[in-house]
């Protein structure tokens, strides 16, 4: 066997090991879902955008199939932008149902970020068809939802369904902020997605707020 063949075989062996390790990790990521075989449809729920100074908070609800083959689902913050974009398409194509809810900056200012997040989550659930029999939530219990709920601390890193919702919410919001960057280029939304970076705060002080800034979040910067 030549050195080149040896290297190729070793590379293929390592790839196979990594793939098997990922399959085992995903088996663990479905452990919460497997605990409830009585529920035909289980949705994961998560949000993106509670902390930024501008733009909406976005919630997503995702029902994955029982025999879901999707790999690499994880907390969206642990994934590269490229991987999130890839998985966004895979989830959209492979999920039983996906719902997305928005709460505008005006609504956030009106009822506060927590209640606005709950509102967006209820909207996301309402869009699902079929409706879920159980909701797995990232850390919260959503008021005003009749469906049984299980809050899971750091759920986006423990439940495949919540991880899928985390990715959908994050990518949806990022896409929106890219559109807003074209409308309000002076703030740099494409780079920081409206989080309170030094560059964003400097732009706020220089230009003042734009229509999508959360007035209740920017009092110290204007």
What's the pLDDT score for residue 86? 98
Average pLDDT over residues 161-183: 98
Model confidence pLDDT, tens digit, residues 126-143: 999 999 999 999 999 999
Model confidence pLDDT, tens digit, residues 58-117: 999 999 999 899 999 999 999 999 999 999 999 999 999 999 999 999 999 999 999 999
| pLDDT score of 174 more than 90 | yes
| pLDDT score of 7 more than 90 | no
Model confidence pLDDT, tens digit, residues 15-42: 989 999 999 999 999 999 999 999 999 9
What's the pLDDT score for residue 187? 98
What's the pLDDT score for residue 2? 85
What does the alpha-carbon distance between residue 104 and residue 132 come to, in Å, rounded to a whole number? Answer: 25
What's the pLDDT score for residue 9? 83
| pLDDT score of 150 more than 90 | yes
Beta strands 42-48; 57-63: pairing state = antiparallel
What's the pLDDT score for residue 220? 82
What architecture is domain 3-216? 2-Layer Sandwich (3.30)
Please report, for the chain, how many H helices and E strands are present, in that order: 8, 5
Query: What is 60-73 written as a DSSP string?
Result: EEEE--TT------
CA angle, corner 93, sides to 89 and 95, nearest 5? 110
Domain residue ranges in the chain: 3-216
| pLDDT score of 222 more than 80 | no
Q: H or E element: which one contains 13?
A: helix 3-29
Question: 212 vs 14, 107, 146, 182, 197, CA distance in Å?
Answer: 48, 11, 32, 13, 17
Average pLDDT over residues 168-180: 98
Model confidence pLDDT, tens digit, residues 184-206: 999 999 999 999 999 999 999 99
């Amino acid at each position: 066997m030549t050195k080149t063949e040896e290297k190729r075989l070793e590379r293929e062996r390592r790839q196979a090991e990594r793939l098997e390790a990922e399959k085992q990790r995903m088996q663990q990521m479905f452990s919460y879902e497997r605990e409830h075989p009585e529920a035909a449809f289980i949705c994961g729920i998560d949000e993106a955008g509670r902390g930024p100074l501008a733009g909406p908070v976005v919630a997503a609800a995702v029902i994955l199939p029982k025999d879901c083959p999707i790999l690499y689902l994880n907390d969206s913050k642990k994934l590269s932008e490229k991987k999130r974009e890839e998985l966004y398409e895979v989830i959209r194509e492979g999920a039983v149902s996906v719902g997305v809810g928005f709460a505008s900056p005006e609504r956030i200012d009106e009822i506060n970020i927590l209640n606005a997040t709950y509102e967006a989550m209820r909207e996301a659930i309402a869009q699902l068809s079929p409706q879920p029999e159980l909701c797995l939530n990232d850390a919260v219990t959503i008021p005003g939802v009749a469906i049984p709920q299980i809050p899971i601390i750091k759920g986006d890193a423990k439940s495949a369904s919540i991880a899928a919702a985390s990715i959908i919410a994050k990518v949806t919001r990022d896409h929106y902020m890219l559109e807003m960057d074209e409308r309000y280029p002076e703030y740099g939304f494409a780079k920081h997605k409206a989080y309170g970076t030094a560059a964003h705060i400097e732009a706020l002080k220089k230009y003042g707020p734009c229509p999508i800034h959360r007035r209740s979040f920017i009092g110290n910067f204007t």
